[in-house]
Amino acid sequence: MNYCEKYGGEIPQIEIHTELDIVDTIIKDLKEYTKSLVYEDPALKREIEDYLKKIKNNEQHKKDEKEAK
């Protein structure tokens, strides 16, 4: 049985007293976690590097075609 069924009506607002920078701390932790995933997984790192090289090669190819015309 949930709160609404037990007491009826809306769930009351609960005041949470904590430091205001908790969101910044969570964002920082998520960034560090993501960075560790990317740098510690060689397959993912290689896949990202290959993708970036592919984009660079495509841009260079388009530029070369444009200059050839």
Q: What tens-digit pLDDT sequence spans the chain (69 residues)? A: 677 777 777 777 777 676 768 888 898 899 999 888 878 888 887 888 899 999 999 999 999 988 887
Q: Is the pTM of this model over 0.75?
A: no
Say if residues 11 and 4 touch (Cβ distance below 8 Å): yes
- Report how far residue 52's alpha carbon sits from residue 56's, in angstroms, rounded to the nearest whole number: 6
Whether residue 35 contacts residue 27, with contact meaning beta carbons closer than 8 Å, is answered with: no
pLDDT of residue 30: 93
